Amino acid sequence: MDTAYSFAAMPISNYVFPNDLHVHWSMMIVLYPYITGLVDGAFIIAALYYLFDIKTLRPVARFSLLFALAFLCCATLPLLLHLGRPERNLNMLLTPSPTSAMAGFGYIYAVSMGVLVFIVLFVYRPDLVELRVTSKGWLQFLYRAMTFDSIDLSEDALVLDKKIIRFLVGIGIPIAVVLHGYVGFIFGGVKANPTWSTPLMPVIFLFSACVSGICAIILAYIVIRKIKGRTIDHRCIKTCIKTLTLFFILAFAFEMLEVFSHSYLRTGYHHMVEGLLNGPLADSFWFWQVKIGSVIPLIILGVMGIFNIKDRLYDFMAAVVSTILLLQVFLMRWNVVIGGQLMSKSARGYTEFHPEWFGKEGILAVIIVMVIPFIILFVFSRIFPFWTTGNETDV
Amino acid sequence: MDLSYRMRLLIVLISIGVLAGGGLVVKRLLIPDSFGVYGPYRADAIVEAALVPIRHGTNASCFKCHPYEANIHKNGRHHTISCEFCHGTYADHVKNGKKTGTLPVKKGKEITTLCLRCHNTEIKARKEKVIKTVAMPDHLKDQNVKITHNCNQCHHVHAPLKYIIRAKQITGLMEAGS
């Protein structure tokens, strides 16, 4: 790393402006696009089943909706932890300004939350109606509210439900795409930062979001089913992997195209961006994100796509590749968010990022924020049945 | 209440519409009256900010009562530095022309810490010709003084080169007046 560092950064005296020494957008801002990305990808899986009729995805379709909802509940948590005065967060929604990109995210987030909640309610309605009959007390009240106090499961009502689901998922796709594309735009819109300020940013974020969400669904499905001792639907995993392969090729291609554009265009700050990728980010970008996190999964996905592999091995490989890609996307967020801030506007120096353990943006807080969606998911599992006998394995 | 499923969904839809409309009303109520008069901010904030008591003075405020320090400070390399930068806020010391409190005076190692806020090579806050920076304890070793020395044992804090120039003049390393 030292040679690369000195090669690119040699004429630079490591002169850093005092206001650039500290990385202001730290780990919570890494988590923010990561969590919204998981929501986005999980929603894509559900949309493929409910709107595009990809029947093999049935075993994971309902679960991915709940997974998306659990993570969407926590999508703003990192932002609130990052704010100095989190109680003022709603002020920006009261008086949105066209020059403030964040207020736009607030509105898009609220709309996507509303749409996702209603999709879940309509998808689960037949189960909720049944559970309402058998439950008691507060839970029964909850089920009554969630079924709009109706126990109508007639053919007519179910047909209507199906139409509503298709409509909601139909508008849900552009909303989900805008939700995460907007996150990319928030970074791409920071014109003061040469590594972020590219129109490719929303596209890169969007595709890598789909990758992380699909991986999370594959991994969660395999792990939960294994723990519960239930069967794994191989055809479902296969469809997920095929979809993942497509999105990952797009994501990786765009990630590399961005680097290529920077290096071909050689804009004013190019020497700094090049020095950043080959210097402070040489390990986390080139080695971990590109070589380990992208090239290896690409080979594994290629093997899984071309060769005939036994079902059990295929599922195992799916779990492995999903784990690597989940880390790859996290590293990509890290390299963009933290990495992008390591270069000083002086164009003559790089700073360092030292993560803290116990601060409200520290490593412990990161772990807690990532655990909360799983707790919410567990609570959901007590209210909504993840799997029914109907979607055990058959389609 | 025995309503058909479609009717219930209609009620849910209308409720969402009412909630959204209600949200707009609440939004109007929550926005302060003076918001947007001059731009996307609360116009009253300008008046409120103007009414905040002034806490800082100028060097002239300090020099009125401290002529001895003023004389040294004005003639030294630190003449552009604000008194408050090292000594603290004027409002904590004087109110309505009367002394109300004593500002803490840095002593011993605290002085070295204070000096290094600007004069540390690691910080590189300004170019070398604007602010001379040193690395500690290398600077002490280079000057052949004890490693436990504080900055003010060689440098006058108000005029850092006062003693240095004088010493050079005495030893003949520098001619008087240069």
Q: How confident is the model at residue A8 (pLDDT cuts 50, 70, 90)?
A: very low
Whether the per-residue pLDDT at B148 is higher than 70: the answer is: yes
Structural domains of chain B, with CATH: 36-104 (1.10.287), 106-178 (no CATH)
pLDDT over 70 at A346, yes or no: yes
pLDDT range class, residue B104, cuts 50, 70, 90: confident
When pLDDT is cut at 50, 70 and 90, the band that residue A349 belongs to is: confident
Least confident of A3-17, A36-50, A209-223, B118-132: A3-17
Mind listing the pLDDT tens digit for each residue in A16-58? 888 888 899 999 999 999 999 999 999 999 999 999 999 999 9
Q: Does position B53 have pLDDT exceeding 60, yes or no?
A: yes
**What confidence score (pLDDT) does residue A345 get?**
84
Report how far apart, in Å, the C-alpha atoms of B85 and of each of A20, A47, A279, A361, B135 are.
22, 61, 37, 31, 22
Q: What's the rounded mean pLDDT across residues B72-93?
A: 93
pLDDT at A394: 39
User: Which of these, A227, A348, A222, lies nearest to A276 by C-alpha position?
Assistant: A348
Segment 137-176 of chain B within 8 Å of chain A by CB: none
Contact B31 A160 (CB under 8 A): no
Which token pair is A177?
A: 């795409």
| Cross-strand partners of B166 | none
Structure tokens at A180: 């995460």
Are A149 and B35 within 8 A, CB to CB?
no
Q: How confident is the model at residue A347 (pLDDT cuts 50, 70, 90)?
A: confident
Cβ atoms of residues A334 and A33 within 8 Å = no
**CATH code: domain of residue A234:** 1.20.1630.10
**pLDDT attached to residue A98:** 82
CB atoms within 10 A of CB A297: 24
Mean pLDDT of A110-139: 93
pLDDT given at position B1: 53
The predicted structure's pLDDT at residue A282: 92
Q: Rounded to whole angstroms, how far apart are CA atoms A204 and A195?
A: 13
C-alpha A182/C-alpha A102 separation (Å) is 9
Instruction: Outline where A124-267 has alpha helix (H).
Output: 125-134, 137-146, 155-188, 200-227, 234-265
Mean pLDDT to the nearest integer, A161-182: 94
Give the span between the Cα atoms of A139 and A122, in whole angstroms. Answer: 18
Contacts of B40 in chain A (CB under 8 A): 95, 97, 99
Select from A15, A94, A152 the Cβ nearest to the Cβ of B30: A94
Integer angstrom CA distances of residue B12 from A120, A143, A154, A193, A257:
15, 15, 19, 45, 47
Instruction: Give a yes or no: residue A393 inside a domain.
Output: no
CA A10 – CA A3 distance, rounded (Å) = 10
Answer yes or no: do A148 and B30 touch at CB < 8 A.
no
Residue A391 belongs to some domain of the structure:
no
CA-CA distances (angstroms) from residue A294 to A27, A149, A205, A217, A384?
22, 49, 15, 19, 36
Q: CA dihedral in degrees (A73, A84, A190, A8; nearest 10)?
A: -110
State whether residue B28 sits within 8 Å of chain A by CB: no
- What is the mean predicted confidence (pLDDT) over B11-15? 94
Over 80: is that where the pLDDT of A338 sits?
yes
Predicted confidence at residue B176, as pLDDT, reads 54
Q: Is residue A392 part of a domain?
A: no
Compute the residue count for chain A: 395
CA dist list (Å): B178 to A38, A287, B26: 70, 59, 73
CB A216 within 8 A of CB A66: no
Among A94, A152, A161, A165, which would you mutate to test the B interface (most chain B Cβ atoms within 10 Å of its Cβ)?
A: A94
> Between chains, do A148 and B9 touch, taking CB under 8 Å as contact?
yes
Confidence band, pLDDT 50/70/90 cuts, at residue A12? very low
Residue from the list B11, B30, B124 with its beta carbon closest to the beta carbon of A15: B124
Average pLDDT over residues B64-82: 93
Interior CA angle at A41 toward A37 and A47, to 5°? 140
The DSSP secondary-structure symbol of A228 reads T
- CB contact (8 A) between residue B16 and residue A152: no
Nearest chain A residue (CA) to B40: A97
| CA–CA dist B53, B42 (Å, integer) | 20
Closest alpha carbon within chain B to A98: B40
The count of structural domains within chain A is 1
Residue A389 inside a domain? The answer is no
For A113, residues 6+ apart whose C-beta sits below 8 A from its C-beta are A72
Contact criterion met (CB below 8 Å) for A92 and A102: yes
CA distance B82 to chain A (A): 20
- DSSP three-state, residue A25: coil
Confidence of residue B97 (pLDDT cuts 50, 70, 90): confident
Distances (CA, A) of B127 to A115, A281, A365: 56, 28, 39
Q: Which of A265-274, A308-317, B17-26 has the lowest mean pLDDT?
A: A265-274
ipTM of model: 0.77
Has residue A172 been placed in a domain?
yes
Mean pLDDT of chain A: 90
Are residues A63 and A52 in contact, defined by beta-carbon separation less than 8 angstroms?
Answer: no
Query: Which residue, B148, B164, B145, is CA-closest to B156?
Result: B164
**Residue at A19 is within a domain:** yes
Tell me whether residues B8 and A149 touch, CB distance under 8 A. Answer: yes
Tokens read off for B24: 């707009």
A193: in domain: yes
Residue range of the domain that includes A183: 2-384
Band (A3; pLDDT cuts 50, 70, 90):
very low
What is the spatial distance between Cα A370 and Cα A70, in angstroms, rounded to a whole number? Answer: 11
Spatial contact of B78 and B158, defined as CB atoms under 8 Å apart: yes
- As to burial, measured by CB atoms within 10 angstroms (0-12 exposed, 13-18 middle, 19+ buried), residue A160 is middle
Instruction: Provide the greatest CA pair distance for chain A.
Output: 76
Per CB-CB distance under 8 Å, the chain B contacts of A154 are: 5
* Interface mutation vs chain A, best among B5, B33, B118, B130, most A CBs within 10 Å: B5
CB A262 within 8 A of CB A79: no
Task: Output the pLDDT for position B125.
Answer: 66
- Confidence band of A1 (pLDDT split at 50, 70, 90): very low
Answer yes or no: is A326 within a domain.
Answer: yes
Instruction: Enter the DSSP assignment of A360.
Output: T
Please state the separation of Cα A73 from the chain's center in Å.
Answer: 13
Q: What is the DSSP string of chain B?
A: ----HHHHHHHHHHHHHHHHHHHHHHHHHHS-TTBTSSSSSBTHHHHHHHHSPP----HHHHHTT-HHHHHHHHHSTTTTS-HHHHH--GGGTEETTEE--PPPPP-THHHHHHHHHHHBTTT--S-TTTS--B-TTHHHHHTT--TT--GGGTS-SSSTTHHHHHHHHHHTSS-TT-
pLDDT at residue B178, rounded to an integer:
52
Residue B2: per-residue pLDDT: 66
**Mean pLDDT over residues B90-96, rounded?**
92
Please say if the pLDDT value at position A11 is more than 60.
no
Among A90, A148, A153, A171, the residue to mutate for chain B (most B Cβ within 10 A) = A148
Q: Which residue has the tokens 């001379």?
A: B132
